[in-house]
Amino acid sequence: MRVMAGFVAAGLAALIVTAAVTLSGVYDVAATKPHFAIIRWWLELGMRRSVQFHAASIAVPRLGDPAQVTRGFRHVQTGCLICHSARGLPLSPTVWRLQPAAPDLAETAPTWAPNELFWIVKHGIKMTGMPAFGPTHDDQTLWNIVAFVRQLPNMTADQYQRFADEGRAAGNEHEH
Ligand code: HEC
């Protein structure tokens, strides 16, 4: 009984402290500084678990034939590389200051399963700058994007450049 009472008291105290900090306004929401490391870690953990949970039932089609990857590249170039770097491509100074910043796609892609990447691109992530592409893109297009993003980590800068050149040569069909 005494142990239970202790837990309840500790829980209440934590709630009161959280409410006090929140309502006082002392927590700094400025984007010039990142969250405290522990808050960032907590939010990331929640984000990762949420994506894993919601993406678990998505069946992954066959991915990665070259035509599909090329189609995916065009969308990634116009739709994602505004905010995300890929293989160290330079970004506009405005999006560097997103907080949290959009990670390099070549670095983050291997940390997600294909169904999770699909879910992220389709639904976006609340309270970050990550938009949902589902409302404007069909699933086939979203899988093309996933197919390209999955290839990024193994792509040399030269191979990447070739995609960019082929995209331009194909007349940039203004897809995004
Ligand atoms: C308007 C800016 C913006 C655009 C456009 C955008 N993203 Fe994002 N993206 C973000 C931000 C900000 C995050 C959140 C980063 C975080 O929480 O650490 C994010 C998160 C992600 C993540 C999860 C990364 C991680 O591990 O934290 C993936 C994967 C991703 N984006 C892929 C894409 C793809 C693919 C596209 C194009 C179809 C795209 N994004 C377009 C801003 C953008």
* Substitution site in 85, 130, 176 for ligand 1 pocket (most atoms within 8 Å of beta carbon): 130
Using the predicted structure, report yes or no on whether residue 162 has a pLDDT greater than 90. Answer: no
The proportion of the chain whose per-residue pLDDT surpasses 90, expressed as a percent, equals: 69
pTM attached to this predicted model: 0.89
Using the predicted structure, report yes or no on whether residue 110 has a pLDDT greater than 60. Answer: yes
Residues 6+ apart with CB under 8 A from 153: 106, 107, 109, 110
- Three-state SS annotation for 82-116: CCCCCCCCCCCHHHHCCCCCCCCHHHHHHHCCHHH
Per-residue pLDDT reduced to its tens digit, 89-105: 777 777 878 889 899 99
Sorted by where each begins, the domain ranges of the chain are: 1-27, 31-169
Q: Tell me, in angstroms, the distance from the centre of ligand 1 to residue 62's CA.
A: 23
For 152, phi and psi rounded to 5 degrees?
A: -50, -45
Q: Whose C-alpha lies nearest to ligand 1, atom 6?
A: 80
Query: Residue 158 has what pLDDT?
Result: 83
Q: Which of 11-15, 58-62, 78-82, 130-134 has the lowest mean pLDDT?
A: 78-82
Query: Residue 144 has what pLDDT?
Result: 97
* Substitution site in 71, 76, 84, 128 for ligand 1 pocket (most atoms within 8 Å of beta carbon): 84
Q: Tell me, in angstroms, the distance from the centre of ligand 1 to residue 118's CA.
A: 12
* Spatial distance between the Cα atoms of 92 and 82, rounded to a whole number of angstroms: 8
Could you tell me the end-to-end alpha-carbon distance of the chain, in angstroms, rounded to an integer?
A: 61
| 31-169 placed in CATH 2.30.30.790 | no
48 C-beta neighbours (distance < 10 Å), count: 13
* Substitution site in 44, 75, 77, 83 for ligand 1 pocket (most atoms within 8 Å of beta carbon): 83
Q: Tell me, in angstroms, the distance from the centre of ligand 1 to residue 129's CA.
A: 7
Mean pLDDT of 107-116: 96
Using the predicted structure, report yes or no on whether residue 25 has a pLDDT greater than 50. Answer: yes
